[in-house]
Chains A and B, each alone.
Chain A
Amino acid sequence: MTELQNPVLKIWQEQPVEGIKMSVDEIHLRAGKFERRIMWRNIREYVASLIAVALFVYFFATTQGALSRITFALFIAGMLWIVIQLHLKGSAKSMPAGLDTLTSLRFYRAELERQREVVSKVWSWYLAPMVPGFVVYTVGYAVSVPRPLAWAGLALMDVLIAALFFWIWKMNMRAARCLQRMIDELNAATE
């Protein structure tokens, strides 16, 4: 039997279709919406980081005392480091068009693995850069306000910050496990 006579191919190729078409104008509109959504998402991320940097710059410029200035300088450096790392590591790479199936699946897997690495190392690039600022702030405050009650408040604040850091780390570890599950599923679906 030739391929053309194969009844299954005939059933497949002769199945009724709705003839759905999109005009070029509709395509432009939809593609434009998609691009604007991506652009606004990127703008939101950078604006939030820049607002935080601007606040630290304001505090740095208006505060008195060397230790306070060092504190805010460290926070600014930490924030800038995080923004740069977000830019370098955080942006999802879009898949080049027209890749064959095997290459596109490899690309998708590599992207998931890269994202897993980013979130699993959140401590080193997202949390650690802010630690020096908090340490100097704690020391500076303890030296400048030598009262046990103030120290107790300071200790409580440090505990809360440590708890926040721990929570961010846990959330990212959870995200890393989720990404690992997706990688495992992808492996199972493509092996």
Chain B
Amino acid sequence: MSAIEAIPAAAAAASTQDELYREAIETYGAALERLARAYEADADIRRDLLQDIHVALWRSFAGFDGRCSLRTWIYRVAHNVGASHVLHQRRTRPQALLGLEELENLPDANSGQQAADRSHALDRLLTLIQRLKPLDRHVILSYLEGLDAAAIGEITGLSAGNVATKIHRIKSMLARQFQQGGEDHD
């Protein structure tokens, strides 16, 4: 390819990269904010994390080949930045991370009045999520975003059976912690 041909090709690729980024933020901007909230409790650090996610997304679109959906790609990139943030933060803020099975067995700290308060319920939900190991955190966040088991499997790389088990645990844990009647969820 000549240099003259290469310039428009490079410009077109850059333009596609910008377009994909705009589309991603337009559609998933709010979901990315919620995701950042699940990875970082401190508001200032969270803002930086969200900017890192945006930059990582934009950079990643240079290599986006459409082999998976845009949604899967966005969640993969964003979760990986989040997981990397959690693992780095553990060096300065060591905290034991739990698996879903351990979280499932936590005593229920709920009361009827607290559950009725949406803001309090959201705080408690965030506290629970922020204690989870990265992989389980990806699963619960994807579940909360309303993704189905197949999409969660595609994002995390877990087998369908593994995803099903984890979703079952999530539903049971959420039902117990938020008193929804766990039997209705399975």
Q: Is A124's CB within 8 Å of the partner chain B?
A: no
Which chain B residues lie closer than 8 Å to A190 at the CB level? 133-135
Given A22-B51, A24-B22, A96-B63, A13–B146 Cβ distance below 8 Å?
A: yes
**Which interface residue of A13, A20, A185, A191 has the most chain B CB atoms within 10 A?**
A20
> What DSSP secondary structure best describes chain A's contact surface?
helix
Q: How far is the CB of B138 from chain A (nearest CB, A)?
A: 5
Q: Is A24 in contact with B21, judged by CB distance below 8 angstroms?
A: yes
A167 to B89, CA, bound (A): 29
Q: Is B76 in contact with A8, judged by CB distance below 8 angstroms?
A: no
Which chain B residues lie closer than 8 Å to A182 at the CB level? 87, 91
> What DSSP secondary structure best describes chain B's contact surface?
helix
Given A98-B77, A101-B155, A17–B83 Cβ distance below 8 Å?
A: no
A104 to B158, CA, bound (A): 12
A24 to B54, CA, bound (A): 10
Q: How far is the CB of A158 from chain B (nearest CB, A)?
A: 38
Q: Which of A1, A11, A19 contacts B185 (CB 8 A)?
A: A1
Q: How far is the CB of A117 from chain B (nearest CB, A)?
A: 20
Which chain A residues lie closer than 8 Å to B79 at the CB level? 101
Q: Is B134 in contact with A105, judged by CB distance below 8 angstroms?
A: yes
Q: Is A13 in contact with B145, judged by CB distance below 8 angstroms?
A: yes
Given A98-B60, A105-B135, A20–B80 Cβ distance below 8 Å?
A: no
- Residue in chain A with minimal CB distance to B86: A189
Q: How far is the CB of B109 from chain A (nearest CB, A)?
A: 15
A97 to B180, CA, bound (A): 38
Q: How far is the CB of A12 from chain B (nearest CB, A)?
A: 4
Q: Is A27's CB within 8 Å of the partner chain B?
A: yes
A-B contact pairs, 19 of them (CB 8 A): A1-B180, A6-B185, A13-B34, A13-B144, A15-B34, A15-B122, A17-B30, A19-B29, A20-B29, A20-B50, A21-B25, A21-B29, A30-B55, A97-B59, A97-B60, A100-B156, A102-B135, A102-B156, A186-B87
Query: Which 9 pairs across A and B sit closest by C-beta, in order of nearness?
Result: A97-B60, A100-B157, A102-B157, A12-B144, A101-B156, A17-B33, A1-B184, A27-B58, A104-B80
